[in-house]
Amino acid sequence: MKKVAFIGICLVLSFSVSQAETLYISDFLRITMRTGPGVDYKIIEMIKSGQTVTVLEQGPEWTKIQLPTGQEGWVLNRFLTPKPPSGLLLKKLEEKHAALSL
């Protein structure tokens, strides 16, 4: 009985150790653009991180935006930022570095 308990404990510990892996959250993000200000409205577009938008109307939780294509819709405020995302900044810096290295 002690052997079975010992083997069981070893299996549990080995499973826990194998699950302890360091991961990172990707900067790549797609958000939903909807026909109205709420999750009950239809999704009309998936917008990639780094996309520039024009603000047409702003509410407490949702903002009506316009894409460069002219398409209009609503997105959650928490996904909008005045600063470019870090992935976009990194890409621009890599391009500048490559140009200077030539």
The answer to whether 65 touches 33, Cβ cutoff 8 Å, is yes
Residue 19 has pLDDT above 90, yes or no: no
Model confidence pLDDT, tens digit, residues 55-78: 999 999 999 999 999 999 999 998
Q: Count other Cβ atoms within 10 Å, centred on residue 37.
A: 18
Distance of alpha carbon 56 from alpha carbon 66, whole angstroms: 7
The three-point CA angle 94-100-102 to 5° equals 105
pTM: 0.65
CATH superfamily of 27-101: SH3 Domains (2.30.30.40)
**DSSP labels for 41-82?**
SPEEEEEETT---EEEEE-SSEEEEE-TTS-EEEEEGGG--S
The residue ranges of every structural domain in the chain are: 27-101
Model confidence pLDDT, tens digit, residues 28-43: 688 899 999 999 999 9
